[in-house]
Amino acid sequence: MEKQTTTHSFIVPIGPQHPALKEPSHFRIAVDGEIVTGASVRLGYAHRGIEKATESRTWIQNLYLLERICGICSHIHGMAYCLAVERLAQVDVPARAQAIRVLFAELERIHSHLLWLGVAAHEAGFDTLFMYSWRDRETVMDILEQLSGNRVNYSANVLGGVKFDVDQLCIESILTGIDFLEERTQYYLKVVSTDALFLQRTRGIGTMSRRQAEVLGTVGPTARASGVDRDIRIEAPYAAYNQFPIQLTLDDKGDLEARVLVRLRELFESYRVIRQILSDLPPGDLTVRMPRRIQQGETVLRVEAPRGELFYFVRSNGSDMPERIKVRTPTICNLLSVVKLAVGHQLADVPMILVGIDPCFSCNDRTVIVDRANETSRQWSWKELRQYGSTYYQQRAT
Amino acid sequence: MEAPTISNELRNLFSLVLFPGGCFLILLGLSYEWVDRKLLARFQNRIGPRWFQPLADTLKLLAKEEVVPENVDLRLFVGLPIVALTGALTAGLYVPILGVKTAFSFSGDLIVTLYMLSLLTLCMGLAGANTLDRFSLIGATRTLTQLFSYESPFLLALLGPALFSSNWQISEIAASAGGRWLLLTQPIGFLVAIIALMGKLELPPFDAPEAETEIVAGALTEYSGRGLALFRLGKGVELVVGLTLISVLYLGGIADPLTFLIKTMALLFIIVVLQALLTRLRIDQTVGLWWRYGALLVLLQWFVIILL
Amino acid sequence: MRLAAMIGDIASAFIHHPITERYPFECREAPGRLRGMLHWEPENCIGCGLCAKDCPAAAIELIVLDKKAKRFVVRYHPGRCVFCAQCVFSCRQECLSMSNTEWELAVTQKAELIRHYGDKEDVEEVLAGNFVPDSF
């Protein structure tokens, strides 16, 4: 990528504290009047050192740590970790547990997309849609609370299966809730595709061709809105997606309106799969016994989070603590597209383009050193980071 | 004008400072702001604030520390909110607030009222341009751009009734209409006036100058404490004065408090419905809208008035 | 393309009540599986300590007074707990449970953030401090 020059123009900082962002990050937007002439991004404000922290906790404790990387994708992080560790330990999880995991994952996808719809409407200035979609989101949160006991961070996964069963009462309330939500989603689909002023804010904004989407490495609904036909649930089915397959949701226009429509249409797929799971729930146990020490090995696992492809690398050295866990979240793939697409648009479109990729900055802070002079990159160890920190502050004090 | 006696002066002072101008107008502005927020909340299926919320907001702001940013012109920074509130209150002198016939009207006061209302917007634009903050500068630019775009349709729409009755004094225009509703004979002008009032007050869909999700708070980003409180009071007063002006000119005058409340509340209801329904327009879309449709509509209205 | 697509919702807003719950004056009943305050019953405990080993937040400690006589005290830190219910799941004897009525857990004194569960004499012995801690 060529270097972004943002040094000599009028720079509007979006972040780290800004009402448009839900989490801190820094976008330096160079404007000329109202037209954006350059953009660059700085991350790292929400870095918590989770990957390092996993190395000093046992396998069971890590599940809950990794679940809290993100609030809206918490179940899918936990599920990816459990699937990876179960694969390393060569343990077969019962079918009922896998189906319940997929049930939670699809409910979480519904939750995430409804939340996103509200946030996108708020960024556009359409507060009424924001309030109503968040009111309807309460329905799915109530369902999740009834199933698991918590509205976010459901902690439904355990290594070897799930903790909570789905009984008849739960099934009835889920089906009632899904019926209500499907009716409301139809209404929102109509609103976002016919409301003239909302279309003025989304149609033709942030258009990304299929080639651009592939070169920039976008994933998830952002890529599917540009015609890239990739969905991990279809390409490499995991958990119970073999038994309950998903149909692909595509759009080829690639603008913001397409991204809104793709996310709303994915909701209908989720409703269908949930109904299918509830009617064909396989009988059986909920968990299987897992060893406390996982045998040596390494594995790579990809799942489809609500925002795109989530990638886990887990390496074990035979003890009861992992040796290395690497998490690559989807937002970091989509972020470059914002910086590229913002140039040439108006300043008022930049928050809309940003929200179009469904950003989740808590997931994506890493520390990588890029050595431009020698054209290499390496990662810092804990010791080097501490040393750098103390030297920096000592120099600042003098 | 009556002969200036002590009791006349006292009466004028009373109506200037306490009722129906001054303090009463400020309190009326706060209550209208409450009705606006409450109705909007109910439309969005929420509860909305309690009746004393705008008053509590103002008192809280007055109690907070005012942070003065670096490199601002201090006299402008402190003086602009005061001038803005003064302009709004002065505009209120010439309209019949609560149906009370104003003691200060004179020939041509319609023009003065309109300019006083614009003074508030100009002060906000200047206040934004005063600082070095990026958000304020962009907000100030947007405020002034929006001012240039809706101002002429707004003025022309409000001068339509004046043209009709060949008079520039508000109370005379109302009297010459004789209780008839000019809304029925000049509907386009009424429509343009209502929507332009939303633009002047920076209500959605015309709130690009203070778009929270793009430029934090627009021109008023650097204001806090007393300055912000005065600006917000000015906006509340502007709401009341604008509504009263439109109902006097288009809805057949205001004779008593009850009529005042009913007519202005009806207009406020329409404004809140439009607020809830529409998305925010980008600033270039606003300008395009006003210079294409707004100006054409109001010129059409004027042709109709002149021909008939 | 329509100009006011959400008019249906806005018009019906006057028929429906606001959805907001006026907490704490109106309080919905919590669902049955809600994970609130942790409780421990000492009858069946065998002292395996898996609850303390598996806790991701070090919120639960098992204090062994006498393993043969099955005298245990559990020290629980609600402030550290993340309410994941892993301890409930790990305990094979089903000694642990999470309440679904006690979920308003804000406190004003730091002392309330340490709770001891167990038989009365055992807890008193722990609080008096005359034992050799063998906690995990």
DSSP annotation string for A36-51? EEEEEEE--TT---HH
Instruction: Point out the residue among B45, B216, B280 whose CB comes nearest to the CB of A125.
Output: B280
Compute and round to an integer the Cα radius of gyration of chain C: 22
Question: Out of A184-188, B16-20, B155-159, C117-121, which region has the weakest mean confidence (pLDDT)?
Answer: B16-20
Mutate to test the interface with B, among C14, C15, C17, C20 (most CBs of B within 10 A): C20
| Count of H-run helices and E-run strands, chain A | 14, 10
Identify whether C107 is part of a domain. yes
Tokens encoding A330: 């989807």
Identify whether C82 is part of a domain. yes
Nearest residue of chain B to residue A9 (CA atoms): B134
According to the model, what pLDDT value does residue A59 have?
A: 94
Q: List C residues 13-42 in contact with B (Cβ-Cβ < 8 A).
A: 13-14, 16, 18-20, 22
According to the model, what pLDDT value does residue B83 have?
A: 94
Measure Cα distances from B271 to A261, A347, B243, C19 in Å.
30, 27, 10, 24
For A110-159, how does the pLDDT look when each residue is reduced to its tens digit (9 = 90+)?
Answer: 999 999 999 999 988 888 999 999 999 999 999 999 999 888 888 999 99
Identify whether C97 is part of a domain. yes
* Whole-angstrom distance, CA of residue B41 vs CA of residue A189: 23
Identify which of A230, A139, A241 has the alpha carbon closest to the alpha carbon of residue A185.
A139
Domain end call among A333, A359, A379? A333
* Whole-angstrom distance, CA of residue B247 vs CA of residue A124: 32
Angstroms from B255 CA to nearest CA on chain A: 36
Segments forming the whole domain that contains residue C109? 34-128
Identify whether C91 is part of a domain. yes
Measure Cα distances from B107 to A282, B87, B90, B129 in Å.
86, 19, 16, 35
Q: List B residues 38-77 in contact with A (Cβ-Cβ < 8 A).
A: 43-46
According to the model, what pLDDT value does residue B95 have?
A: 85
Measure Cα distances from B192 to A43, A323, B160 in Å.
46, 69, 11
Asked if B278 and C4 come within 8 Å (Cβ–Cβ), the reply is yes
Nearest residue of chain C to residue A190 (CA atoms): C5
The DSSP line for C75-116 is EE-TTT-----HHHHH-TT--EEE-SS------SSGGGG-EE
Same domain flag for A391 and A311: no
Taking CB atoms and an 8 Å cutoff, what residues of chain B touch C9?
45
Stretch B273-301: mean pLDDT = 87
Question: Out of A302-311, B181-190, B259-268, which region has the weakest mean confidence (pLDDT)?
Answer: B181-190
Same domain flag for A193 and A105: yes
Answer whether A263's CB lies under 8 Å from A122's CB. no
Angstroms from B32 CA to nearest CA on chain C: 20
What is the interface pTM, i.e. ipTM, of the complex?
A: 0.88
Residue A369 has pLDDT above 60, yes or no: no
Identify whether A6 is part of a domain. no
Nearest residue of chain B to residue A133 (CA atoms): B44
Same domain flag for A293 and A191: yes
Instruction: Point out the residue among C4, C16, C19 whose CB comes nearest to the CB of B277.
Output: C4
Segments forming the whole domain that contains residue A182? 50-333
How many structural domains are present in chain C?
Answer: 1
Identify whether C68 is part of a domain. yes
Residue A368 has pLDDT above 60, yes or no: no
Identify whether C88 is part of a domain. yes
Asked if B47 and C20 come within 8 Å (Cβ–Cβ), the reply is yes
Q: List B residues 74-93 in contact with A (Cβ-Cβ < 8 A).
A: none
According to the model, what pLDDT value does residue B293 have?
A: 85
How many structural domains are present in chain A?
Answer: 2
Q: Does B47 touch chain C (CB under 8 A)?
A: yes
* Whole-angstrom distance, CA of residue A196 vs CA of residue A182: 23
pLDDT exceeding 70 applies to what percent of chain C?
95
Domain end call among A289, A317, A333? A333
- Write out the residues of chain C at the interface with chain A, using a CB-CB cutoff of 8 A: 1-6, 8-10, 19, 31-35, 53-57, 82-86, 89-90, 98, 100
For B166-220, how does the pLDDT look when each residue is reduced to its tens digit (9 = 90+)?
Answer: 878 887 777 777 667 777 778 888 888 998 999 888 888 888 888 777 777 888 8
Identify whether A218 is part of a domain. yes
Asked if C86 and A135 come within 8 Å (Cβ–Cβ), the reply is no
Instruction: Point out the residue among A132, A347, A351 whose CB comes nearest to the CB of B138.
Output: A347
CA B124 to chain centre: 13
Instruction: Point out the residue among A34, A126, A128 whose CB comes nearest to the CB of B43.
Output: A128
Same domain flag for A170 and A87: yes
Q: Does B245 touch chain A (CB under 8 A)?
A: no
Tokens encoding A104: 């939670």
Angstroms from C114 CA to nearest CA on chain A: 21
Same domain flag for A91 and A136: yes
Identify whether A352 is part of a domain. no
Domain end call among A286, A316, A333? A333
The DSSP line for A255-296 is SHHHHHHHHHHHHHHHHHHHHHHHHSPPPS-SB----SSPPS
Question: Residue A160 belongs to a domain with what CATH number?
Answer: 1.10.645.10
